[in-house]
Structure 1
Amino acid sequence: MALVLSTSTGGDEGNIIIDSGTTLTLLPDDIYTNLESAVVEQVKLDRVDDPNQIFSLCYSITSDDYDFPLITAHFKGADVELHSISTFVKVGDGIVCFAFQSSQIGAIFGNLAQQNLLVGYDIQQNIVSFKATDCSKL
C-alpha cells in the first residue's frame, strides 16, 4: 500500500535539501503532521513510547521482518518509493520508530530515506536523480 502526501504549501521548486549528512528526514510541521496521521491510519501495530524520547511515532514489532506502507516522495520529474528500511529505524528490542520528524528549519531528505538509492547530482543541468539499488550488493 502506498501513502502519497500532497500539500498546497511548499510547492516551490527546490524546497527540500537532500543531505547525506542528516540522519532523519525533516519536514515542515504541517506536512509532517499530515504524513504522521496517514501512517498512523495505515499501521495497525501497537504504538509504544520511544525509550530514547526522540521520536513521536513508534511501534512494537515481533520480528525484524517488518513491513510498513510504502511512502512515495514526489520530486519534480521523479517519484521516489521509500520502503520500510528508509522510513523506520530500530531503536530497541522490538521497537521501531518513524524516521521523519517535524522541523521549523525547513525540509531535509535525510540519509535514512536515501538507503538503497543511488542519488545522482548533475550540477550542469540542475538535476537530481534517484535510482533504486540494493546497496548490499555494491
Structure 2
Amino acid sequence: MSVGNKRLELSSSYASGGSKGNIIIDSGTTLTYFPAEFYSKFESAVAEEINFERIDHPSHLLCYNISDHDIDVPNITAHFSGADVKLNLTSTFLPITDDHELVCLAFQAGQQSIFGNLARSNVLVGYDRVEKTVSFKPMDCTKL
C-alpha cells in the first residue's frame, strides 16, 4: 500500500501453503482489513496527510468532520503483483452521517488482510484461474 509518497509493505506471512499473495479479495466484505500492526502504520500515514482534526467515533475508525470543507485525501494505492489500484475519496472514506459531514477511513484492523468491496468501487476485477492472476480495470459503474 502507498499513502502519498510513502510505501508500506504488507508482509506475506498471511499467505497460505507457501503461495503468493497476502490479501483476500472479498466482494462480501465492505471495509478493507489489515493485521493490527500494519493497520497502525497505515492509519498513521493517512492521518499525517490530512490536515483535519480527528473525531472520536464509537466505530474506532479514523474519522474527520469535514463540514464546510472539502477533504484533501492523500493518494492511496494498493499494490498487487503486476497491478496497482489507485483508490479515490469514495473508496477510502465512508460518509457516516446523512449530511456527509462526518467521514471515516474505510479500513480497519482485523485478523487477516481483506481487500473489501468499498476499495474496489468502480473497479472491474478479473480472475484468471488458469494463470492464477488477478487484474483490475478502472471503470465508471454508474454507466453500466
TM-score, length-scaled by structure 1: 0.88
Please point out which of 94, 103, 117 is paired with 2:123. 117
2:80: which partner in 1?
Answer: 75
Instruction: Calculate percent identity across the aligned residue pairs.
Output: 50
1:91: which partner in 2?
Answer: 96
List runs of 5+ in structure 1 lacking aligned partners. Answer: none
Q: How many residues align?
A: 135
Question: What secondary structure is seen at the aligned counterpart in 2 of 1:33?
Answer: helix
The Cα of 1:65 is off from its aligned counterpart by 5.2
C-alpha contact 1:16 1:107 (8 A) present in aligned 2: yes
C-alpha contact 1:3 1:71 (8 A) present in aligned 2: no
The Cα of 1:9 is off from its aligned counterpart by 2.4
C-alpha contact 1:3 1:72 (8 A) present in aligned 2: no
4+ runs of 1 displaced by more than 4 Å? none
Please point out which of 32, 40, 58 is paired with 1:33. 40
C-alpha contact 1:118 1:132 (8 A) present in aligned 2: yes
Question: What secondary structure is seen at the aligned counterpart in 1 of 2:103?
Answer: strand
C-alpha contact 1:78 1:129 (8 A) present in aligned 2: yes
1:100: which partner in 2?
Answer: 107
For 2:41, give the aligned amino acid. Answer: N
TM-score, length-scaled by structure 2: 0.85
- Cα 1:67/1:8, change in 2 over 3 Å: closer
- Cα 1:102/1:111, change in 2 over 3 Å: same
C-alpha contact 2:12 2:21 (8 A) present in aligned 1: no
The Cα of 1:91 is off from its aligned counterpart by 0.4
CA RMSD across the alignment: 1.9
Instruction: For 1:4 and 1:80, locate their aligned partners in 2 and report how far apart those are by CA, in whole Å.
Output: 15
